[in-house]
Structure 1
Amino acid sequence: MEDNKRMIKLIAVILTCTSALSAANYNVFDQLYPGTRNNFNGRVGFSFRTKTPFEITALGRPVNPAYNGGVLQAAHTIELFRVSGGALVASAVISSSSPKDSFGYAYETLAVPVTLVSNTEYMILSDETAGDGDPWLDLSFITGYRDDLISIRNQIYTGTHAGNIMPPPAYGNLNYLYVPPTFYTTIPDPTPPVVMWEDFSFSSSFDGTSPLWARAFYPVNADNAPMMVVQHGYESTRGAVMYSMERMARNGYFCVAVDYRGWDGSAGTHDDGGLEIMDIYDAIQETRRRYPGKVDPNLTSIIGYSNGGGNVFFSTIRFPFTFRASMALFGIPDYGQWATLVSNWRDKVYAAVGGTPAQVPDKYFVRRAEEAATNLSGTHFHIAYDQSEWMCPIIMDTEFIAAVPSQQQDNVFLHVSKTTDTYRWTHGHNTTGHLNVIEDLFMADMSNNNLKTPTMPANGNLVVLGFIVTPKFKCFLGSGDDAAASVEYHFQDDRASFDFSALTSDNTRTGTLILEPNTADYDLQVCINGTQTAIIEQRHNLQFNFPIESSVEIRPYTPADISCDCQINFKDIALLAERWLDQCNTQNQWCDGVDVNKSESVEFGDLSIIAETWLK
């Protein structure tokens, strides 16, 4: 029922009473908009212009249910001003004792309803204190509000606290807001929302960093919708891409914006193209887990702006066979080159990576996407920028394109706008519609060509820049952001092999290889450089470490083949002799497989097994 859906969020005036809202009151917002920011002293909110006269009955503030059990920790004064003349129209104090509507906004009803005048600008502000435990929504573009009554104008922020005096308008981005404080009306919504969004948290599968935050924006009636990862720029937040997410959601996409480690409430420290990229993969997996049936796990794409474009480069090459299409708008495919060419963020990049390119060259090698341009593997890869681009120099894009193998060039699409063009891909998030055309072109490529996710072949070559995740295996090198290697892989039935060659300077580093758990009805044998290093028993995880310069083979376990050369011969006898009468156990992998019968000692029983299978 419309009444139940809209019966939501109220908060109120100087003359306030705490009676519950009646069913005939409707929140100006059509869902809860919680946030994670809590570091500002002063008043924040937004300005809006009325389209028609209407009555408001309450004022309110969102409460993030993920913090403090969904209970406000401090009192917050909500003030509504008429901009022309600065008159206070209504105010209310919202606290832990305030009732909540069905969306989760705390509210207070007004003692006397207030009528807003048509075609008039107002501002509504919430008084906030840094560190008070009540987070709020940072800069965001929102479409889920009563646009039949108002149009949101600008975000508002001021360093002064509440005092019934309107602060000088400190207008921010057009069509954006903070918090958001809200008000209620008796007029029902004539058009129920068709899209919605919500934040969710997840943890890193690599090192457990938590919480990490993401935002899902999707059709209300989503049914196996294709996923679109939408990534924001440097030092920004997931709220900055709300305009683009809303447009794509209305086109049927299930959108996800990821604030990986160190950004907008996410734990940890960002590292500019390093482990933070793994957080994007984990967010994709968490989205599939949280929204079964709403999102199609087999149709995923990614688009990003500026540093978000860098996310696109590194996600596509580190998660090959994940994206059917990718678009990097004025992105950063090489963090070392970016820091060298553009001084604005140089010191921040050096701090995030852990030194200069001269000091930690291997870390910057890992952050140079062109080194793994061969990993595109059939994904339609779009690159877009304007010819005037300087913040993310064009040479980085052209060098990446030049590194793409000739057989894959047909899947790379370059879009360059010129000063004479009607539509230009100038730097920034799409907040005013200036990037609508290029976003639409990207969506059209997927729909018109019915793009599917590339299939991973059984044999191939890939480049691992720190780490890689494929449908058949995962690999992490060194610390995950400071070692690289090429790998030739082969899968056939119950066997797999990997030949790794180091690409970074320190070839003594080690890596971790992870495959699907052993579901066979027999054990598997892991041989590294011709030496058995592990026996993976049935129903056990297939995960082990290896030197970065090595050949790895996984095959059904043949106990007597100690030397891992697929024959029972004198090599096995020699290894048996070296470990004769040694004490063996699970900790030393049964003397590295020489204790064939697992009798806890290398002795005649092992020799007997070798003799029985001699020369087989």
Structure 2
Amino acid sequence: MQGRTTLEQAFDEKAWRAAAEENRRLSDEQTLEAANVNIMVPDKPIEPPREIPGGGHAEAFLRREAERDGVSLADKRREVEAAGFGAYVLDGLKRGRIGFTEAWNALETSFIEVLRLAYSNGAMELTPDDIAMFTGRPNKLAETIRSDPRLVFREIAFTPSFDPDGASPQFAEIAYDPQVRNAPVVICQHGGYPGSRLMELGTMRRLAAQGVFAIAVSKRGRDGSAGRPDAWGTETADIVDALDHCARHYADHLDPTNVTVRGGSGGGLDAISLLVRYPDRFRCVVAFFGYAELIPMIEQAFSPQADALLKADPRTAGSIRAVRRFAYDSGYGRPGYPDRRLARTLTLAAETNPYAQVHFVWDEDDPLSPMMDRWFEEFRAAAERMGSRNVHLHRSRRGDTLRYPHWMVPDNDAFDRFYLPAILSRTVPAPVLAPAGVLTVPGFLKTRRFEIVLGAGDDAVARVGYELGVDEGTFHFRRLSSDPAVRGVLRFRSLRRRPLAVRINGTLAAEPSTREWVECGVGLDDSVVIGVHDRAGA
């Protein structure tokens, strides 16, 4: 058939759906258990290393221990050598005498290996309640957090603006101090794929106790929310839909103009997605070890090496299937996938938002650290080209007092000090969209003056030059995705409700309208002029 790609010719819809559903089933059963538990907690204890590592961090640890105990370095070394270095460190961690980051630095190994050592030897404990928080199951820990007498915790239901598969209702959870009015908002997005908002309850309680209105939104298909995840496509808009719901129903308690979004891992990707798709909505964006591109992970998850690991080591099944799950959810293996992938390559839109205060947070030990280095440098460089110094990189390294690993540890909570005081004091300015500029639209983009949705909202990309007046708007589209047949929708907000006409490529496309929002269909290489009727040349 003419016009069909090799992928489309070879595509077997029935086989693809069968593979996707099987992976989804196994992912639901095993992802969080295997990825977050089995890898971390081996079936039997791992023998701690006896020798003192040869790097300087172990030596620095010994000096601190000697000073803390008031003994000579030589005496402390003999004590540690007799006990075995690893056993000594793990005992200190178990007794609370040293913190996790101090143990991590001292052992001079990877974060994952330290967790496995700690859990398998009883220095740290992963309780059934901890596991239930990851998987979204009811548990006593969640009940305890929600019963804090100072605060109100409440589940809310809302309708999503993108509803491709009848994904209503969606659910979120809020936490706030009922005595506080006009509180700044912090959206706390959970990681994991699919994960659960229960993972954020502790953070929500901590923030709400400090005067924040906290929101955690469940991804589609989790915690009772309808629909299926689409791997950070249109489901990102659900987060803003929940925010708008709260602004309408809890107006006395929150300030909808002072909003921060923070999240880790998949929640960090949510934060980056909101950064580039809502450029004038958030004052602050905090992304802990978030992915700005899915391509590298997807390629690794479908590699021959991943296939071999799935067969050889069941402990890896959860993490690999989790990545394969969001690959399938993003359309991997289906016709049109390259454009869906492009719409999730958020570094393309790095220049879209120089307004928010942005914090990218990660550790050098993260398996994706080299790619994160590149991604986040791209965002900072793009902001600096536009005259903004708002993008801050926080890359922790071995030996640092605070480190930010891909896991929920106290150091990640301690990062609040870098952004929360400014949010509470309202010293971070509200974002204001420039009257003219160039934006990259990864599927969709929404501002207070105009909205653009390309195709289904997650399968096309375009660069758009714009210029705004009080009741005028000019938009020049340039398609970056491959399918020329895909069209989009442009909505423009009139500030004075005067009769506005729309001309596309010089031709009148819509009769004058006095509605607040004027809407028109557009091609991805069109030029659009919206203006007062006589000025549009009609």
Which TM-score tier does this pair reach, normalised by the shorter chain?
Answer: 0.5 to 0.7
Match of 1:426 in 2: 405
1:209 partnered with 2:167:
yes
Give how far 1:178 is off: 5.5
Out of 188, 197, 203, the residue aligned to residue 153 of structure 2 is 197
Name the aligned partner's letter for residue 500 of structure 1: F
Q: Measure the CA separation in 2 of the matches of 1:473 and 1:352.
A: 28
Given that 2:135 and 2:195 are in contact with CA atoms closer than 8 Å, whether structure 1 keeps it comes out as: no
**8 A Cα contact 1:329 1:385, kept in partner:** yes
Please tell me whether the aligned partners of residues 373 and 400 of structure 1 are also in contact (alpha carbons under 8 angstroms).
no
CA distance in 2, matches of 1:467, 1:423: 37
Q: Distance in 1 between matches of 2:506 and 2:450?
A: 21
Matches within 5 A, 1:255-270: 255-270=214-229
One-letter code aligned to 1:464: V
How many angstroms apart in 1 are the aligned matches of 2:526 and 2:232? Answer: 26
Q: 1:364 to 1:329 in 2, by over 3 A?
A: same
SS in 2 for 1:493: coil
Give the match's secondary structure for 1:179.
coil
1:411 aligned onto 2:387: no
State the Cα distance separating 1:273 from its structure 2 match. Answer: 1.4
For residues 355 and 133 of structure 2, the distance between their equivalents in structure 1, rounded to whole angstroms, comes to: 39
TM (norm. structure 2) is 0.67
Runs of 4+ in 1 over 6 A off after TM superposition: 173-177
What TM-score do you get using the length of structure 1 for normalisation?
0.58
Contact persistence 2:285–2:358 (CA under 8 A)? yes
Q: CA deviation at 1:300?
A: 0.4
The secondary structure found in structure 1 opposite 2:352 is helix
CA displacement at 1:510 relative to structure 2: 0.8
List runs of 5+ in structure 2 lacking aligned partners: 1-27, 30-124, 142-146, 307-319
Residue 239 in structure 1 maps to residue 198 in structure 2: yes
Give distance in 2, aligned partners of 1:172 and 1:363.
33
Task: Using the TM superposition, give the Cα deviation of residue 253 of structure 1 relative to its aligned residue in structure 2, in angstroms.
Answer: 0.9
SS at match of 1:375: coil
Counterpart for residue 113 of structure 1 = none
Q: CA deviation at 1:176?
A: 11
Question: What pairs with 1:68-467 in structure 2 (closer than 5 Å)?
Answer: 156=128, 172=131, 179=138, 193-207=149-163, 209-234=167-192, 235-341=194-300, 344=320, 345-356=322-333, 360-390=337-367, 392-403=368-379, 404-405=381-382, 406-407=384-385, 408=387, 410-430=389-409, 433-447=410-424, 450-467=427-444
Contact 2:277–2:444 under 8 Å retained in 1: yes
Classify 1:435/1:176 alpha carbon distance in 2 versus 1 (closer, same or farther; 3 Å): farther
Secondary structure at the residue paired with 1:420? coil
Contact 2:285 2:359 in 1 (8 A): yes
The structure carrying a bigger strand percent of its residues is 1
Evaluate the alpha carbon distance shift between residue 419 and residue 321 of structure 1 in structure 2; reply closer, same or farther with a 3 A threshold.
same
Q: Relative contact order (alpha carbons < 8 A, sep ≥ 6): 1 or 2 greater?
A: 2
Question: Which amino acid letter does the alignment assign opposite residue 353 of structure 1?
Answer: S
Instruction: Tell me the alpha carbon deviations over residues 147-191 of structure 1, each in whole angstroms, 9 at most, x when there is no partner.
Output: xxxxxx98648xxxxxxxxxxxxx847999953579xxxxxxxx9
Cα distance in 1 for partners of 2:228, 2:134 equals 30
Counterpart residue identity of residue 221, structure 1: Q
Secondary structure of the equivalent of 2:230?
A: coil
Report the CA distance shift for 1:178/1:529 in structure 2 as closer, same or farther (over 3 A): closer
* CA drift at 1:333: 1.0
Structure 1 stretches lacking a partner, 5+ long: 1-38, 41-152, 158-170, 183-190, 567-592, 594-616
> Aligned pair in 2 of structure 1 residues 295, 384: CA closer, same or farther (>3 Å)?
same
Contact 1:366 1:482 in 2 (8 A): yes
Q: Is the Cα contact below 8 Å between 2:473 and 2:492 reproduced in 1?
A: no
Distance 2:370 2:235 in 1: 24
What CA distance in whole angstroms lies between the structure 1 residues aligned with 2:370 and 2:286? 15
Cα 1:314–1:458, aligned 2, differ >3 Å: closer, same or farther?
same
Q: Distance in 2 between the 1:519 and 1:454 partners?
A: 22
1:503 aligned partner = 480
Q: Deviations over 1:292-317 (max 9, x none)?
A: 11000110010001100000110110
Post-superposition Cα deviations, 1:318-364, rounded to whole Å, max 9, x if no partner, equal 00011111111011111122222455233212211111499611111
Contact 2:355 2:388 in 1 (8 A): no
Q: 1:460 to 1:540 in 2, by over 3 A?
A: closer
Question: Which structure has the larger Rg over C-alpha atoms?
Answer: 1
The answer to whether the 8 Å contact 1:329/1:384 transfers is: yes
Q: Which has the higher helix share?
A: 2
CA distance in 2, matches of 1:283, 1:462: 25
Q: CA deviation at 1:441?
A: 2.0
1:242-269 residue CA offsets vs partner (Å, 9 max, x unmatched)? 1111111112111101113222211111
